[in-house]
Structure 1
């Protein structure tokens, strides 16, 4: 049977008939769909920046939760897990919210409880891996996949609390900085604010999440997002019909309706 050289020490050998490994991608997809997916989000930001509202908007649902008390002396983390399904794809979503972040007079240790929580999830997974009889296939992995860091729309610069916290977290989790309630600032000021944020992150050595560019199908758009890493977001749960088939979320003001959006 003839063969051709395709690289150093590698030969391409033609098959005499059907083997069956061409179905491996489909098998992997079916296995993943049957098992479902797990996604854990950490929302860090001061009280009142719309963390819960943005989660409702992102996943197009209303996450029911107990009212949060903001009279604690320190920062606490509240974790809720939800089972979502779209078509035949199941998603186990865990949303971790910071409660009381930035509410204290002395904010020096505000980041510590967040760091301790992230480390605890790493430790829990490590202990599961070290077991003689591991059950990782059914283990609920609670390690954080992404940290959405909500920045107050001041229009000036990052607060020292933000810089310190992001610096403490950047080696432990993928940080995605976003300007919350960005409709509170004029568009001209938003552009300057984004440039200021990026400059301060770089000058303070804060490493934020870089979107992968090794996949050619998304390399161009991901490269653009890496150049302008701060997102502008505006969440809302009021609905309005666009046409007969779709709706959009919006904020209602006295003078206009503003659709929810995310911009880079």
Structure 2
């Protein structure tokens, strides 16, 4: 009797097994469950964080609404907004966490602590649920999958605060650096600024997403673009009979989704269209796994130390 081959088609009758339907089964299950993506935006006020996020997802999902002014908090705070975005039958449960007050004061010492604590708290919540005897079949995933770090368009290099924060963030989450309001720089200034930032990241051993060197062409192209120099806007303008999102200035219109004008489209494609699942997977397989291993190793060490102490005391 001839053996069935994985390469056969339904046309070959009894030789067909049906393994090729697994991909469709996976797709249908994912559509029923929906997807979860958790994003943190970090940066000083006035860099257009909320506007950019709203532009990315074509809806008002970020904390700040148009024309809304809020008093500057005395310390860094963590505020999140949850929403569901639907497109083409796919539902995405999106959480955007903002960090108002970050870097906005004369003394910014330890202003990163609330952000790091928030990220680690989400890991701890997941780990706690995972260890329960009677745990949920699907653990709610509040783990941060990506951090968009906004860099002011100074044209110089990373500030000492940027370096300190990025060195801590890259240990706990996927970090994507962004040059905010890139239309305030000329193309030459922008390219030179990118080079200086890449050199700073390399000199200080800061790892940005993607985390590992790979032969993946998409990863290589993305690395060449980093940091993304972006422009965000929720205002539509008419250009040659078509509507485009953009920012108008005295020297012309910067089209948000025009790759010749800025990197917004590249950031959106990476974040949503090509690497969202990889961001989720790398959070689970790298950052959460590192946290889980460290946490459980510490608990085991403390437990052994306690047991040794009890045994020593019993001998006395």
Which bin holds the TM-score, normalised by the shorter protein? 0.7 to 0.9
1:247 aligns with 2:248: no
Secondary structure of 1:252's counterpart equals strand
Segments of 5+ residues of structure 1 without an aligned counterpart are 5-10
Matched residue, 1:74: 75
Shift of 1:136: 4.3
1:256 aligns with 2:252: yes
**If each structure's helix is expressed as a fraction of its own residues, which one has the higher value?**
2
Q: Deviations over 1:164-193 (max 9, x none)?
A: 000011110000001000101111111110
Matched residue, 1:230: 227
Please provide the CA RMSD for this pair.
2.5
Matched residue, 1:190: 190
Q: Deviations over 1:227-246 (max 9, x none)?
A: 442111000000134577x6
Matched residue, 1:114: 115
Task: Give the Cα–Cα distance (whole angstroms) in 1 for the partners of residues 252 and 79 of structure 2.
Answer: 35
Shift of 1:135: 1.6
1:153 aligns with 2:157: no
Shift of 1:134: 1.8
Worse overlay, 170-179 or 221-230: 221-230
**If each structure's strand is expressed as a fraction of its own residues, which one has the higher value?**
1
Secondary structure of 1:94's counterpart equals strand
How many aligned positions are there?
253
Secondary structure of 1:202's counterpart equals helix
CA contact (8 A) 1:250 1:259 kept: yes
Segments of 5+ residues of structure 2 without an aligned counterpart are 267-316
Worse overlay, 115-124 or 97-106: 97-106
Shift of 1:21: 2.6
Measured at CA, do residues 213 and 29 of structure 1 come closer, stay the same or move farther in structure 2, by a change above 3 Å?
farther
Secondary structure of 2:230's counterpart equals strand
Task: Give the Cα–Cα distance (whole angstroms) in 1 for the partners of residues 7 and 232 of structure 2.
Answer: 55
Measured at CA, do residues 136 and 204 of structure 1 come closer, stay the same or move farther in structure 2, by a change above 3 Å?
farther
Using CA pairs under 8 Å that are at least 6 residues apart, name the structure with larger relative contact order, 1 or 2: 1
Task: Give the Cα–Cα distance (whole angstroms) in 2 for the partners of residues 170 and 213 of structure 1.
Answer: 15
Matched residue, 1:21: 19
Secondary structure of 2:116's counterpart equals helix
Shift of 1:2: 4.6
